[in-house]
Each structure stands twice: as C-alpha cells, then as structure tokens.
Amino acid sequence: MKKSKLIQSAFVLAISLASSTTVLAQEVTLRLVSAFAENGIYVQHLLPWISKVNAEGKGVLQINFIGGPKAIPTFEVGNAVKTGVVDLALNTGAFYTNVMPEADFLKLTQIPVAEQRKNGAFDASEY
C-alpha cells in the first residue's frame, strides 16, 4: 500500500513539473489597472516601470496597463483584483478595506515592511 502511494505521489509530481515547464515556456501578460487618474503623478511614475518590465520581460512577462478610474472605478479596483478581472493594481489600502480589512493596519504600524516580512506580520494577515 505504501509503495502504491509513493508511485502515485511521484506521478502527480512528474505531471506537475511537466505542466509547469509548459507554462513557463509561454509569455505571461498581466493586466494592471490604477485607482488613480492616468495623468496623475503616481501613474506617470508607474509607466516607465511598465516599459522597463515589458522590455526586459519579452517572451516571459508583459504588463498590459488598462488605465485608471475610467476603466474601473477607483473603489472597485480591489474587487477587480479579487475576482480576477485584473491581475495587478496601483492602489492604496484605504481604497480596498472592503476586500482586505487588514490593509488598514499597514498605515498604522511603525515597523518597516521588511521587518514585518521577517517577523511574520504578513503571514499572520493571511487567512
């Protein structure tokens, strides 16, 4: 019985590795939306980063910037990420506490994000 389980596990692992190799061979395009206006400072700083990612990520990763509030209303951006309408969002935690209430604590802490990752604060916020 144990040998059979081991063979099944090895088979599942082999299938997983084979399918992940296939996925890695294809270029991935992520959809990004902003909660802020396209002509605002935040988006203006974002656009060069998107260009850099797209230039360096050819064949691997591309980012398709969909737009700002004209594409998805500001307070719906968090829900758009949650439901898979978009993959990434330029947003602030205050705009999506309805989807992720723990985002509110980020503005209250005096502990740097790098330290929060080390001490488990981020892990504790996952459900």
pLDDT tens per residue, range 46-101: 999 999 999 999 999 999 999 999 999 999 998 999 999 999 999 988 888 878 78
Alpha carbon distances (Å) from 23 to 32, 38, 112, 123: 20, 32, 35, 27
Q: How far apart are CA 42 and CA 34, in angstroms?
A: 9
**CB-based contact 80:87 (threshold 8 Å):** no
Count of CB atoms within 10 A of residue 37's CB?
A: 15
CA torsion angle 108 110 114 115 (round to 10): -110
**CB-based contact 75:91 (threshold 8 Å):** no
For residue 96, the model assigns a pLDDT of 81
Mean pLDDT computed over 113-120 = 85
Structure tokens at 118: 């080390």
What is the CA 37 to chain-centroid distance, rounded?
20
Which of 16-25, 77-86, 117-126 is predicted most confidently? 77-86
For residue 127, the model assigns a pLDDT of 45
Count of CB atoms within 10 A of residue 91's CB?
A: 20
Work out the mean pLDDT of the chain and round it to a whole number: 81
Residue-range domain boundaries for the chain: 27-96
Residue 62 phi, psi dihedral angles, 5° rounding: -135, 150
Using the predicted structure, report yes or no on whether residue 2 has a pLDDT greater than 90.
no
